[in-house]
Amino acid sequence: MRLIKPMFKLALKQLKREWRSGELYVLFFALFVAVTAVTSVNFFTDRIHRALQMQANELLGADLVLSADRQFKIKYLEKAESLGLKAVRQISFPSMVLSENENQLTWLKVVDPDFPLRGELGISKKLFAPESKVTMIVSSGKVWVEPRLMTALAISIGDSITIGKKQFIVDAILTSEPGRGGDLFNIAPRVLMNYADIDETGLIQPGSRVRYSLLIAGEVADIKKYRSYVVDESDPGIKVQGIEDARPEIRTALSRAEQFLGLAALSSVILAGVAIALAARRFANAHLDYCAVMRCVGATQKMIFRIYFFQICFIGIVASLIGVAAGFIFHQLLIEVLGSLVGVELPMPSLMPAVFGAATGIVTLLGFALPPILALKSVPALRVLKRDLGEISLPGTMSYLVGVVALAFVMVWQSRDLKMGLYMVGGALLTIVVLAVVAILLLYVVRHFRHLYKTPVLFGLRNLIRRPAATIVQMVAFGLGIMALLVLTLIRGDLLDQWQSSIPDDAPNRFLINIHPDQIDALKRFFEERNETVPNFYPMVRGRLIEINGVAVSEETASGREAKQMLSRELNLSWATDLAKGNELIDGEWWSNEPDVLAQFSIEKSVAKNLGLVLGDTLKFMVADQFVEAAVTSVREVDWGSFKANFYVIASPGLLDGMPSTYMSPFYLPPAKFELLNSLVAEFGNITVIDVAAIMSHVRQIINRVTMAVEYVFLFTLLSGFMVLLAGIQSTHDERLLENAIARTVGGSTRQIYRTLMAEFVSLGMLSGFVAALLATIIGAVLAHYVLKMPIHWNETLWLLGLIGGGAGVGVVGFLGSRSVVTQPPMLVLKKLSL
């Protein structure tokens, strides 16, 4: 113990010297970049989690929310009252809103006067003015609207708008409301209306697609009792959300984003590990003589280990702390890009991301730097007398297994899910292996054709070929970062563009929904009078699947995500005489046109697959308070990309007679005929017009923001790749120094050497870019064919970006990092290296 203090002092003294010599920069910055990446992602996700937990009430607007597709029976309100709970009714659905000259699809929210039960409403009387919090909702005859609706309808406070059959005065701008959530799922601007006004609008008809909610608040114990009551009632149509599972759609989406961002950040940690391993190995190599001398003058193995362990830990702690601070600063960028998706104010983060980031840094550093450092204590003192008598070999690749295993644990920890974590580990390993295999093959090809190259390319490539292990490691490191960025560029640009352009020009761009059966003739006349093509009308009945082959089914009993989704909500059923275009029978037979055809269902193939249905299975649906049951007699494959009206379940004619239904109609509206919608909405106030282009634009915006966030994180991966390059250059520094000194001694000019260096690193960058572009192209093809169901097409921009970007980036950094081998006088180098 008495020796610890002098050891520490000696370690710090040596560390100061080492730092000044620049030997430790790569190790330090590799760790710093990795910790920054991990910490910035974790600060962001931590704030999202804390928002979802701390402000769950505000996300719900209550302590408990019941949701259904039908009105709640009075018993639920009575039960709440009997338990002393507060209850507020809420209805929400899409609806058209008309001003004098414009129309707009909105999300109408109709609430009882006591709304919200938790949180506050925020309004302002002027666009962009500061909001004021209010405790009372809008009064009858008036509405509060979101700012973007003011702009879309070109209205001001006090103007009149029409919703359904009723006119309303725009009383205020709705700036914030509990239960809104973020931008993720809110495509249409919100309108807040008093519950007293809904009947007068005439918007809700039998079969209308409306979401009914009952918001409940009160004491925790009473809420628990109420929840148990609702569950015991076993009403299949009712969903219950409490604080702990508020807004599952947001939680699921953010959980996915978190896992993917975490994976992206950890890819930079993996590369940092490689850079640290290379840099630590070089550091250890450079200190072999050092340690031998210390052993000579009395240092024990323990002392030597302590000195270097202190140094490594000190670097690790300082780099990690600075990385954590930088991560905190940079996470603001993620907040800027993605924060509004949640829709509540994000609280300050906890300390856990800092702890995790620092722990990741230390684990990475120790895992990859410790093996060569540990070997230093075994340096024999004999080395001072005779180097060849005192040889020591630094640990081989297997010694880094501990570091790899430690990183795997970090990945599992980051993913918060063992299965997902193991997938991530497996995925990362597979990606690296694939990159390495492609790199090896490419290097083989380059070597095979080297007789074709001219100097300085020849010399540059020769340097790469002579150090195959180092070259492959660097190609994998860069390939990973460049590939990720290319794939994201592909998704953001080419794939989405291609998907959009694959949609026929005259594909329906508007969908009319909530058409009452009585309105069909009038609608047909509407189009005829305006010399427009009369669209087709498709019946829709909202029904919930409750039995298969006589056995009750529900979301709880279903297995598989898709099956649970199908059983958790009402499906759109339809009926048809003929098999529609875009539908192909793959099993069974379509029903005949005879008048008394037997009751049958035709199902889409994913329904058959997800629910495990075969021909002959019987399905029982609950439609409002009625039931309908029939056997499956055919399975269809549907072309969902056709933008036509398609249905998962089609009933034979007559089976759904007498059940509450609405109609929907997809049609193409030429841009020049936009004002036709104003007339249509004015005449048929209950009909909702879905603008397909607007939805696609919104979805694209979300995808853009998410991919931007992921790209930001993968930039750290690229930076880590540069660290690997610099570590590789450093590890061959003496070799390059000697080579260039000899080259200059025998007549080579500085210019020739610079050109050789450039050739080497530009080639390395281009080879890495080639590997990246190749794999990105394959990934893009898989996404196009299997996910977007589009033809695969060649994207030459991807290749240009990969080759030129890789060549330029690696070329510049590599050249700058190795320039010093040329600037030292040859004689000095030869003298120095001959000792």
Residues that bind other proteins (CB under 8 A): 2-3, 6, 9-10, 13-14, 17-18, 21, 289-290, 292-303, 380-382, 384-386, 389, 835
Minimum distance from CB of 305 to other proteins (Å)? 11
How many residues in the chain?
835
Minimum distance from CB of 384 to other proteins (Å)? 5
Pick the closer one to other proteins by CB: 561 or 832: 832
From start to end of 683-812, where are the E strands?
688-691
Minimum distance from CB of 740 to other proteins (Å)? 20
Pick the closer one to other proteins by CB: 153 or 294: 294
Under a CB-based contact definition with an 8 Å cutoff, are residues 201 and 688 in contact?
no
Pick the closer one to other proteins by CB: 24 or 706: 24
Minimum distance from CB of 738 to other proteins (Å)? 18
Minimum distance from CB of 26 to other proteins (Å)? 17
Minimum distance from CB of 834 to other proteins (Å)? 11
Q: How far apart are CA 482 and CA 491, in angstroms?
A: 14
Pick the closer one to other proteins by CB: 336 or 391: 391
The separation between CA 86 and the C-alpha centre of its own chain, rounded to angstroms, equals 38
Pick the closer one to other proteins by CB: 429 or 827: 827
Q: How far is CA 477 from CA 213, 323, 372, 409, in A?
A: 52, 21, 21, 21
Minimum distance from CB of 10 to other proteins (Å)? 6
Q: How many helices (DSSP H) and strands (DSSP E) are in the chain?
A: 27, 22
Minimum distance from CB of 17 to other proteins (Å)? 3
Minimum distance from CB of 828 to other proteins (Å)? 11
* DSSP string for residues in 248-315: HHHHHHHHHHHHHHHHHHHHHHHHHHHHHHHHHHHHHHHTHHHHHHHHHTT--HHHHHHHHHHHHHHH
Pick the closer one to other proteins by CB: 172 or 299: 299
Q: How far apart are CA 504 and CA 511, in angstroms?
A: 16
Q: How far apart are CA 105 and CA 152, in angstroms?
A: 10
> First and final CA of the chain: distance in angstroms?
38
Pick the closer one to other proteins by CB: 283 or 770: 283
Q: How far apart are CA 386 and CA 383, in angstroms?
A: 5
Minimum distance from CB of 292 to other proteins (Å)? 8
* DSSP string for residues in 381-422: GGGGT-GGGG------GGGGHHHHHHHHHHHHHHHTSHHHHH
Pick the closer one to other proteins by CB: 20 or 454: 20
Pick left, alpha or beta for residue 169 (phi over 0 → left; psi -120 to 50 → alpha; otherwise beta): beta
Written as six digits, the tokens of 653 are 């004619």
Q: Using omega within 30 degrees of 0 as the cis cutoff, is the peptide bond preceding 116 cis?
A: yes
Q: How far apart are CA 33 and CA 275, in angstroms?
A: 11
Minimum distance from CB of 290 to other proteins (Å)? 6
Pick the closer one to other proteins by CB: 385 or 800: 385
Under a CB-based contact definition with an 8 Å cutoff, are residues 608 and 614 in contact?
yes
Pick the closer one to other proteins by CB: 3 or 405: 3
Q: How far is CA 767 from CA 40, 447, 729, 796, in A?
A: 31, 12, 17, 16
Residues 6+ apart with CB under 8 A from 571: 542, 543, 544, 545, 621, 648, 649
Pick the closer one to other proteins by CB: 1 or 351: 1
